[in-house]
Structure 1
Amino acid sequence: MAAGELKKGIAEYYDESGKAFEALWGDHIHHGFYDPERASPLSAADHQRAPLRTVEEALAFAGITDDPVQKRPKMIVDVGCGIGGSARYLAKRFGAQIQAITLSPIQVKRAQDLAMAEGLANQITFQLADALDQPFPDGQFDLVWSMESGEYMPDKEKFMRELVRVAAPGGTIIIVTWCHRDLSPTEENLKPEEIKLMTRICNAYYMPRWCSAADYLKIANSLSLENIKMGDWSENIAPFWPAAIRSALTWRGVTSLLRCGWKTVKGALAMPLMIEGYNKKLIKYVIITCHKPI
């Protein structure tokens, strides 16, 4: 799929599906984080809190806390901001100024409305922009935040170079993204049946080819980034897709999806494919954090 066609497909998918996602999942349009060892049944409250916990766990993994002695981020960019759930949380938690970008004009408008309703319009600016060509000067942000946007990037190296470019010297970069499994030393590619499954998923969600966590780490090292850490959170997010399917099969879920259109329905129908990918250890959910050299 050509780059222009890909961007158009992503924008239209999120323009169309935004109301359904918000109705089903709330402010945070990303996976929820769970304790994999928990055996008791999960409540509706558990599922509602899980996406916010993903944000909190990402900050903790990167070593960003509320400790008053520690330097808090004051300038943040949210790359692939959705309807601004993460941006609003970060603005309130750190009192930061935030620039947030997305390819979806409907997401921009909804995010602006929500920020205004919460009294955050002076702290957060939402705009249409491409993550591979961000409209910001070099070295502007002490926290560069990318929550589930890397999988949409057709050029992962250019994506990371752009994140590094806009980061201030010493700034923190947080990438939370879907990946495929690492290849073994004897493999040149995924297995044919794995490629077939990945292709079906990518076609449903308007995504280019994915890469592995090892590929991200290789790029990070090539850019001479510091304090590089990677965490595999696949087990922590495993309950998310079954919960998403259950919410989609409620009366509210079905009516929300049907009001949106075929792109959204196609994405909903692909949710069992995501579960299959996770169960086969093909799909990985990873966090990568690092610092730009001073």
Structure 2
Amino acid sequence: MKFEEKFIAFVDVLGFKSMVEASEAGTGMTLPEIVECLSKLGTREDEDKILRRGATICPGSMCIEKNLNFRITQISDCVIVSSEVSPAGLINLVSHCWGAVIELLVRGIMCRGYITRGAIYHQDGQVIGSGYQRAYAREAGVCAFKLEADERGTPFVEIDEEVCRFVDEETDSCVKEMFSRMVKTEDGTTALFPFKRLSHSFIIAGFGRTFDAEKEKEANNNVRKQLLALKERVMYYVDHTNTRAVAKAKHYLRALDEQLTVCDMTDDMISKLCAPLPLRRL
């Protein structure tokens, strides 16, 4: 039994108290629905999958142990995840947290957390160590993508500078690419940013493929409908009497609005691709 140097994540569901109160009053989610949502933070099955099979993201990346010393402990509305200090260990921990955040996002539920590196003992549900304490303490003060200069507690999973530096100094192209897909950096602060996934991409044309503008516009409009539905869902679970909760929701609404703008830009691009070429005068 000993402390180990590991990458550590602490992720917490926001607005859980109001969610439970609404459930008990019969005006919100049912208890089974809440339990199902919390399972998205991570389960024993998720842990066992990596312990048995190894890395699921960048499986060819360097690791110390095949099982990445990967641990997940979910307690009520939060989860602690840890992995060995290796390229494969980090990207699989980040991927797990990113997946949990987006699974809850599509249900209209906001999360906040912190990913760091430090000492931890993480076995059989026991979580002890200064690294875990750091992740836990920093979660409440997350300031990623803040709208006000002194704003703290924004609804994102922030990533410690030391962890970002580990990726910057890494030469593994898979790790660097996958990390860039799952995060966003603004004003020197990096955090998980699942909203990137909420967009429609398409191939203009290729061997054996015909570009169908109407089909692509329809697919893009389906994404638009999903984004609008998500905005409604996020606000549905927010306690409107709590000004801090409403302020946190504005961050998600802003990000979703940005993706709606991307939808408009995509429609415009498709229309331009279909426009007839101007006649050239000889």
> TM-score, normalised to structure 2's length?
0.31
- Greater CA radius of gyration, 1 or 2? 2
> TM-score, normalised to structure 1's length?
0.30
